[in-house]
């Protein structure tokens, strides 16, 4: 991984494959990344389904000289090995060379009922093994229409208080913008990213490193405008990370931002 200091200055572009991928397609995609010029100002990561993480990590080492970080989409809330059938621990993710772990993606909350308490346990497990958690927060359309978006985000961010880390990475992903093609306006993004920045300082202290990514229908056409918004330190990209062309274009936009 890049040096600690450098990565907290870079723009982060993390692809979230969700439940997509096949061995052969993944390999083909990794090989396409070989031609991508080195971009010093951008940290690139790919969050693959757990079964493909080792394949990805090996490909990063062998084909890509570690230019792309390996990210996991989730982790167990249980800290230790044991009788938890189907679970994958933070220690296992560290063992196979994972760098970053998404926590609390809205699809985990929507389909698996994960809320603050479970997310906090997962954050602690990830930090305890030296990996970087990327906490996802976002309001529903109903909450935004009721003018409650800041209240909702403040509640989701409250789990950051008292964590044993000086490095905080958050992805703001309005639920109504994920996979819908509806992007938040740059004014909405600016207001929320400014708010999140302030909240993190008040919860974690003024001396923390902070990255705040935007997520929600980011694509090759809108990325440059989003990266130009104050306090946007990168993007969490779903659908558009599945194709080399669109993901590379977003990385390019981050580099030029
Ligand atoms: C996501 O999965 O985190 C996401 C933002 O998806 P999409 O870019 O497809 O909206």
Rounded (to 5) percent helix, strand, coil in the chain: 45, 20, 40
Q: Which of 16, 141, 214 to mutate to test the pocket of ligand 1 (most atoms within 8 A of CB)?
A: 16
Average pLDDT, the chain: 94
What residues are annotated to the active site?
A: 105, 173
Is 104 a pocket residue for ligand 1 (Cβ < 6 Å)? no
Question: What average pLDDT does range 240-254 have in this prediction?
Answer: 95
Band of pLDDT at residue 141, cut at 50, 70 and 90: very high
CA-closest residue to ligand 1 atom 2: 238
pLDDT of residue 180: 82
Its pTM stands at 0.95
**Residue for token pair 């001396």:** 207
Is 216 a pocket residue for ligand 1 (Cβ < 6 Å)? yes
Q: Give the tens place of pLDDT for each residue, 204-240.
A: 999 999 999 999 999 999 999 999 999 999 999 999 9
Beta bridge partners of 132: 100
Domains of the chain (ranges, CATH numbers): 4-256 (3.20.20.70)
pLDDT of residue 33: 86
Is 218 a pocket residue for ligand 1 (Cβ < 6 Å)? yes
Ligand 1 atom closest to the Cα of residue 136 is 3
How far is the centre of ligand 1, averaged over its atoms, from the C-alpha of 136 (Å)?
A: 11
**Residue for token pair 């880390």:** 165
Q: Give the tens place of pLDDT for each residue, 165-184.
A: 999 999 999 999 887 888 88
How far is the centre of ligand 1, averaged over its atoms, from the C-alpha of 127 (Å)?
A: 24
Is 133 a pocket residue for ligand 1 (Cβ < 6 Å)? no
Q: Give the tens place of pLDDT for each residue, 13-52.
A: 999 999 999 999 999 998 888 877 777 899 999 999 999 9
Give 180-247 as a DSSP string: SSPPPPHHHHHHHHHHHHHHHHHHH-TT-EEEEEEESS--TTTHHHHHTSTT--EEEESGGGSSHHHH
- Do the Cβ atoms of 67 and 60 come closer than 8 Å? yes
């Amino acid at each position: 991984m890049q040096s600690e200091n450098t990565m907290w200055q870079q723009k982060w572009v993390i692809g979230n494959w969700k439940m997509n991928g096949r061995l052969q397609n993944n390999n083909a995609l990794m090989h396409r990344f070989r031609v991508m010029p080195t971009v010093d100002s951008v940290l690139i990561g790919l969050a693959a389904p757990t079964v493909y993480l080792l394949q990805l990590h090996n490909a990063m080492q062998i084909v890509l000289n570690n230019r792309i970080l390996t990210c996991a989409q989730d982790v167990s809330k249980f800290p230790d090995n044991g009788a938890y059938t189907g679970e994958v621990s933070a220690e296992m993710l560290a063992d196979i060379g994972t760098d970053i772990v998404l926590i609390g993606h809205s699809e985990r909350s929507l389909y698996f009922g994960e809320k603050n308490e479970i997310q906090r346990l997962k954050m602690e497990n990830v930090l305890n093994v030296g990996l970087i958690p990327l906490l996802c927060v976002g309001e529903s359309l109903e909450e935004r229409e009721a003018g409650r978006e800041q209240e909702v985000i403040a509640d989701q961010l409250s789990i950051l208080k008292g964590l044993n880390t000086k490095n905080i990475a958050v992805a703001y992903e309005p639920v109504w913008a994920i996979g819908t093609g509806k992007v938040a306006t740059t004014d909405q993004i600016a207001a929320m990213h400014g708010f999140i920045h302030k909240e993190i300082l008040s919860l974690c202290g003024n001396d923390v490193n902070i990255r705040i990514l935007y997520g929600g229908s980011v694509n090759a056409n809108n990325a440059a405008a989003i990266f130009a918004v104050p306090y946007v330190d990168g993007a969490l990209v779903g659908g558009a990370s599945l194709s080399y062309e669109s993901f590379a274009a977003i990385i390019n936009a981050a580099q030029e931002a």
